[in-house]
Chains A and B, each alone.
Chain A
Amino acid sequence: MTPTWTISSAFAGALLVLLPPARMAGSARIIALAASLVGMIAAALSCLARLNHPDAPVWRFDAPWIPCMGIRFHLAADGLSLTLLLLTGLIAVAGVLFSWNVEKRPRAFFAWFLTIIGGVYGVFLSRDAFLLFVCYEIVILPKYMLIAIWGSTNREYGAMKLTMYSIGASALILIGLVAAYAAAGATSFDLLHLAGADYPAAMQAWAFPVLFLGFAVLAGMWPFHTWAPTGHVAAPTAASMLLAGVVMKLGAFGALCVAMPLFEQGLGLWKPLIAGLAVVGIVYGALTALAQKDLKFVIGYSSVSHMGFVLLGLAAANHWGLRGAVLQMISHGVIAGLLFGIAGRVVYERTRTRDLAALRGFDLWRSLPGAAVAFTLATAASMGLPGFSGFVAEISVIVGLWKVYPWLTVGVAIGIIITGAFSLRALQKTCFPARPPADAATAPPLPPLTWPEISAIGLLLAVSLAIGIYPKPWVVLIDDGLRSPLFQSILPLP
């Protein structure tokens, strides 16, 4: 199975789920599950094939698309793309499983859901800037629809805010790309061609921040992160998982594979500021999460904090930093997906509240032990405890940072401490209240976990543990991607 199966299965699935007649609308979820499973399996098999044959040429698909502008339909799957494809596949499967109980217009729901997945696959595979931008933009409208139609708290506001941030950021990306295209001779949008061109220093000084900021907004860079918590909270569970799990990674991926290779001098000029903002984001996100009353807001702000590590790794711009950034993208994707799944689906659908004070009354440890165990493990992973993926990723970023800006690690350390604090606070309030209310013991037990929930939780936890315990295959794949000629100017080969 070649990596094209990922994109094609998602888009074909998005069309297929619309087919069943209204009285069989429930079958949409089975089609969606099948489509996302095909994508995940294709990604996993491609990863294995790449691990077994690391010296084989990279899979690619290249065909002319708009010849008069030098635009080609160019996909390629090196190790970096493959690991991110696998992450997307995992989140897609888990997202469908956590949405098993969607009753309102399920066909449209899964069609939009799979469209996002397809767009995300497309971004990770694109090697042509135009194609990448197309796939990047395809995601915007489905995000809006998922939140505005199926969302909860303040959904239309959250959806519009998120969409306007995304499209505004896209305008910056458009400006940066178009300027690069013009300066590189206006012959091709191929990423390698654009990265190989010589741009004047004056242009790099303005074009890099424009392009980088365009991508970084979607990656939740402080102070442009405010769309993320509102959007995540307003979104339905599957959309929160997608947003935090993979869509924020689109921004980081674009910054890594487009903004940085194109304007490496601009990167040199601006990276201290990016690193500074990333550290502020880590500390600020964690502090804000500490003060939240809504469980989803806690997770939303923790995402801002965790994505700060990704940006920090990018700003370090050395091998350890970039590898750590990609690892953190995968790790946070899995963990955020898991946390949002548990908070939005498992807990909220049963208790109808996400308020931390109200959740105390349910004493989840007694009333819903399965969820409490899962939430405890997910929180441990989110705190970056050894054995989970977060630890590997964060330590790698910190090593990279130490080589460039050692004094910034102080800020990171503070952020990690606060992360522990807000994680434990949320865990204690929801699962282990110090003084459970008197009527907790007599309250009727909540319905136990269903099989789709258990399998989704199991899948994501297993991946986080697998990365934490044996990160080697992931590191090998990521290093394979980082050896691409695209990163020559940032990471010269020894």
Chain B
Amino acid sequence: MLVLAALAMLGAAMAADRKSGKPFSAGVGIATFGILLAAAALLFAPPVAETGTPLLANDPLARIFKAVVLGLGLFSVWVPPARREIENPGEYYALVLFALTGLMLTVGSNHLLFLFVALELASLSLYLLAGFPRTPRAAEASLKYFLFGGVSAAFLLFGISLLYGVSHSATLSGVAQALAAGRPSLPGMTGLAMVLAGLGFKLAAVPFHYWAPDVYQGAPATTVAIVAAASKAVGLLVLVRVLQIGFPLLAGCAAWGEMAAGWSLWLAVLAAASMIAGNLLALAQTGVRRLLAYSAIANTGYLFVALAAAGPKSAGAALFYVVVYGLATLGALAVTADVERDRGDDRVCSFAGLIHRSPFQAVCLLVFLTSLAGVPPLAGFPGKFALFSNAMAESATAGKPGLVWLVGLAAILSAASLYYYLAVLKRVFARESITGGERGTMPPVHALAVALPAAALVVLGVFPALLLEPLTRALMDTLAGR
């Protein structure tokens, strides 16, 4: 609670500051301070209650993910926001803090209604953050994000009300108990499907992905970084908690030859659709931001492959991968934002000869994009490997083929994705710059937003167990204590 209070208070202070005409960097500074304070609170303050409340869990998993949200949020704040600087930095960063607060509340929620409220706190802040610059593109992004988000929120709420009607409880464990008693009913399944659709929107899974390319292109880079990294990580965690704690009995099966209706099969279908659409559409992009948007859709597909196996180890691998993915996308966005400031746009050809203009950025971009493509020794490789091998191990027993159809598709499409990442890197490393070598200086705080994620990706790539082990163990504890 202390964590949240600190964040909200600072957020309010920021909003009050806006008329005093503080320079832009003050916004970044205060936001950084707020996040660090929250992190300190998370580390040092005694937990209010070890086990949390029926509404809000405070288990190790929630604590790890609060730290993840704060870390990814901090890097996002450091990402240069936009081509033109934001006009009202006070309001902007206050909303950033509100969004992060919402995400941190979402992480531990055990109650469907509380979950909804916390998610909406984050979402409403993000809709506003997407439309902050007064440009037509930002307005389009914000409106699309809001409309799709509103519809998905309605789905989520309707699903929750159906589930409450079926189980007379809105806590996850209550729903699980009620469902364990009776046979799966039509309203129960419909409610589950609607909750899945609502959360699928957060994660930009096909067919709920239409907002993603426009938001990635039009919104300020800081906003995109939060949407892509922290918000996605939390969305996945919520999905894991809801499905594996609330609905272990409605999993169905997605394994080859044993398919049965349930969330596992639905996720498998969404996964296949997201991977195919995301990767194929990414091939055709000429702007790096849109390319990252379609790569986000494809990566949701890989995550869903692991969730479709409906086991704790693959879910642990998915949680690991979503953090790694967030770091890589966030860093790539930071480099893109800096290139935009120098060159005016994010087209792939604007990256030509980056190695000569700024070797530091070029090498870091290499780290981010190759991690996304899953090339060792970067964290994306063990991430994908853990996703796929655990998904196979938990779905294929006694020599049955299991999810091999989905894992095979994922492996091949993931290999194909190297093509479009290399299309960017080719220009960065092998081409000469079209215009001269002039470049703006990179403020040190922006350099940190590039350097720290890159360093984290290298460390996690060589020693993936540093994060994979605690995450898997925490998730297993949480599931066992349901």
Please give the residue numbers on chain A whose beta carbons come within 8 Å of chain B beta carbons, in ascending order.
65-69, 130, 133-135, 137-138, 140-141, 144-145, 148-149, 155-156, 160, 163-164, 167-168, 170-172, 174-175, 177-179, 181-183, 186, 199-200, 202-203
Contacts and interface: CB of A to CB of B under 8 A. Distances in A.
B313 interface: yes
A195 B64 CA distance: 38
Query: DSSP class of B's interface residues: helix, strand, loop or mixed?
Result: helix
B279 interface: no
B479 interface: no
Nearest to B395: A182
Contacts of B473: 68
A148 B389 contact: no
Given A65-B465, A69-B389, A156 B415 contact: no
Contacts of A141: 370, 375
B426 A175 contact: no
B393 interface: yes
Contacts of B381: 134, 137
A69 B402 contact: no
13 contacts: A65-B465, A69-B468, A137-B381, A144-B422, A145-B430, A148-B430, A168-B412, A174-B388, A178-B388, A178-B411, A182-B395, A186-B390, A200-B399
B389 A171 contact: no
Contacts of A156: 426, 430
Contacts of B392: 178-179, 181-182
Contacts of A183: 396, 399
Query: DSSP class of A's interface residues: helix, strand, loop or mixed?
Result: helix
Given A68-B469, A145-B429, A199-B399, A178 B389 contact: yes
A182 B389 contact: yes
B377 interface: yes
A134 B386 contact: no
B376 interface: yes
B401 A181 contact: no
A171 to B, nearest CB: 4
Interface string B378-396: 0001100110111011111
B390 A69 contact: yes
The winner among A68, A177, A182 for most chain B CB atoms within 10 A is: A182
B170 to A, nearest CB: 33
Contacts of A164: 415-416, 418-419
The winner among B395, B404, B468 for most chain A CB atoms within 10 A is: B404
Given A178-B388, A182-B402, A137 B465 contact: no
Contacts of A170: 415
Interface residues of B, number: 41
B414 interface: yes
Contact of B412 (A66, A148, A171, A186): A171
Given A140-B375, A182-B389, A66 B382 contact: yes
B165 to A, nearest CB: 39
B422 A163 contact: yes
Given A66-B464, A66-B469, A199-B399, 14 more contacts: A68-B472, A69-B386, A133-B385, A140-B375, A141-B370, A167-B415, A167-B418, A178-B392, A178-B407, A179-B404, A181-B392, A181-B393, A200-B399, A203-B399
A160 B422 contact: yes
Interface in B425-482: 426, 429-430, 464-465, 468-469, 472-473
A7 to B, nearest CB: 13
Contacts of B416: 164, 168
A181 B389 contact: yes
B54 interface: no
Nearest to B382: A66
The 4 closest A-B pairs by CB, nearest first: A186-B393, A171-B415, A200-B399, A182-B392
B430 A174 contact: no
Given A69-B390, A137-B381, A174-B385, A149 B422 contact: no
B408 interface: yes
The winner among A67, A130, A199 for most chain B CB atoms within 10 A is: A130
B306 to A, nearest CB: 12
Interface in B304-345: 313, 316
A383 B98 CA distance: 73
Interface string B353-370: 000000000000000001
B375 A182 contact: no
A209 to B, nearest CB: 13
Nearest to B389: A178
Contacts of A200: 399
Given A178-B388, A182-B396, A160 B465 contact: no
A94 B465 CA distance: 38
A148 B429 contact: yes
Nearest to A168: B415
B407 A175 contact: yes
A160 B376 contact: no
The winner among A137, A170, A174 for most chain B CB atoms within 10 A is: A174
B162 to A, nearest CB: 36
B393 A182 contact: yes
Contacts of A137: 375-376, 381
A378 to B, nearest CB: 31
Contacts of A133: 385
Contacts of A145: 429-430
The winner among B385, B411, B429 for most chain A CB atoms within 10 A is: B385
Contacts of A67: 465, 469
Contacts of B422: 144, 160, 163
A164 B373 CA distance: 12
Contacts of A178: 388-389, 392-393, 407, 411
A126 to B, nearest CB: 12
A340 B370 CA distance: 30
Nearest to A187: B393
A130 B384 CA distance: 12
A171 B386 CA distance: 14
A1 to B, nearest CB: 24
B429 A149 contact: yes
A171 B393 contact: no
B468 A66 contact: yes
A52 B453 CA distance: 49
B411 A171 contact: yes
A149 B412 contact: no
Given A66-B464, A174-B385, A175-B404, A134 B377 contact: yes
A171 B414 contact: yes
Contacts of B401: 203
B228 to A, nearest CB: 23
Contacts of B389: 69, 177-178, 181-182, 186
The winner among B386, B388, B416 for most chain A CB atoms within 10 A is: B388
Contacts of B419: 160, 164
Contacts of A140: 375
